Structure 1
Amino acid sequence: MMYFGLFLAALTAFVAAIPLPASTSPAAPCPSTLVKENQSTAFGWQLVGTSSDASTLDQTCNQLQTDQLSKWGNFGLALSKVQTPVCNALTSKASDALPKVVAANTKIITNLLTSSFKKDDVQTYGYLCDNLRYEQVSGFLLDDATIINATCNLGAERLNPRPFTAVDGAKANRTAVAAYNDAQSNLYAYLYAAQAGSPEELNTLCEASQSKARQADYEALQLDPDCVSQTICSIKEPISVAEGKEQLKKWTSVSYANVLVHSSNAPGYVQVLCEKLDTASLEAAGLDAEVVKNAACSGSA
């Protein structure tokens, strides 16, 4: 037994002396990457919901697989995330695609909200957990519990149960919801129009966007049909990569600002946002920090 004990001691010392390899765990994706991935998924489902039939989806799928639509990737979208719904959807009905878009948009807002303040700002995230209003968040057609719970996790708070009635009369701000839908419509329109490689192709997309069937699809996806078609038809030359990136950043920022500013009616809420929003964090998430902070500090988006 004595020799066995000595053997164990020697083995322990030997193992302790072996240098441990550096961690091979992959680093967490940066906020802007997560946002772009979820935007890609949302756009993919929007393409599904606005496709006239299965053959159109097959054509788009083939173009994605053969890099014919690489410009979307140049804008920062993840083509594989766009491709997944387009190539695997069982139906092209807008009503079936909508829940998928809602889920992706919820992830986008969650990504942005949890990346808008300094990571160690537990107090602000705790404040958001207590003061974000379910009724107002859900008014943007987002999963309110998912978004609010994310702030509670960062604020070391327990998720408050959803009240049976709105807190202090909190209700969706219809003007803000309309502005959010307008921004989402512009975002979709620019991304969709980016596939055109010539003025003639843009004209074809413009005409298609004005059809009754396509307009109905836009409405079913909670987009503004007039805004989508007017935006597409206003583009006369193929969209450059620089302009595409600019439009993506602009309309993402405007969309988020509307949700952020109008998700609570708590007294002093926008003042807290104005004071605590972190410029570096907003930019790292791919947002225009000036747009978001100006919306918060002025109390409107």
Structure 2
Amino acid sequence: MKTRLSNENLQIEINSFGAELNSIQHAGIEYLWQADKSYWARHAPVLFPIVGKLKAGEYQLDGEHYQMPGHGFARDNDFELIKEDSDEVIYELRENADSLNKYPRKFRFRVAYKLTDQTIRVRYEVKNEDEKFMQFGLGAHPAFNVPLKSGTFEDYKLTISPAEKRDFIPLDPPTGLLKLKDKKEEAVSELELNRELFKEDALVFSSSKKMAVSLTNSIDAHGVRLSWEKMPYFGLWSPYPADAPFVCIEPWCGLADDENTDGDLMTKFAINELAPEGKFVAEYEIEIF
């Protein structure tokens, strides 16, 4: 089921399947990638209960082995629409028979979208409803059209702020796993878009306490700005070598496996943990101009 929200500046559409944003329109322009399967058949998937890929597609927990697809299973499940106002919707996913075969925890996962002026506020809330501690990752994966209205892919840039040194963690392109041994500190503030930028898969960085990434161009004033706090990592991605007309800006609470992981979810790098009845909240904003 698809739900639409609008105000004087924005019109958005969300699909209950995956609780996924399907459209962001402003000034007659579609900002969100429209899931052309010849490049990438998704718009803005929600990542839970893992971010990225697991080594060999599997992990261990409580002495048992489990398999789980990259970025988890939430993006391929129907969420229940539990609240709908003129400016906000809230979706909820709970464990089911299929999820328990992949992830043996009871949980409540909510995704909320709220419109304010030219901004979409996205809120994630995880509650542990299991008797055991819950280990998980979550994150966002929105893709934005490039170009938005004018110019070419190469006319656009990503501006990362604050402009300070941060960890860069390379990925291994064939596997999509982190190469933690090659982690290094880099000063990064602007990235001019070109295809070679993503030759080694997504660019993975650590976040500052307050973080923003903007997508702008040299032709007109249209762009996108994502901002967040308390989401300790982010990824930047566009398929390579395809001439895919989009780029993803992805705030994360969690990361893919390291290539040398032992597969234990409890000790996985960048994992989050909740005690029984515990609650975890993360938010980010998408500003459209």
Query: Is TM-score (shorter-chain normalized) higher than 0.5?
Result: no
Pick the structure with greater CA Rg: 1
Larger helix percent: 1
Q: TM-score, normalised by structure 2?
A: 0.27
Q: TM-score, normalised by structure 1?
A: 0.27
Larger strand percent: 2
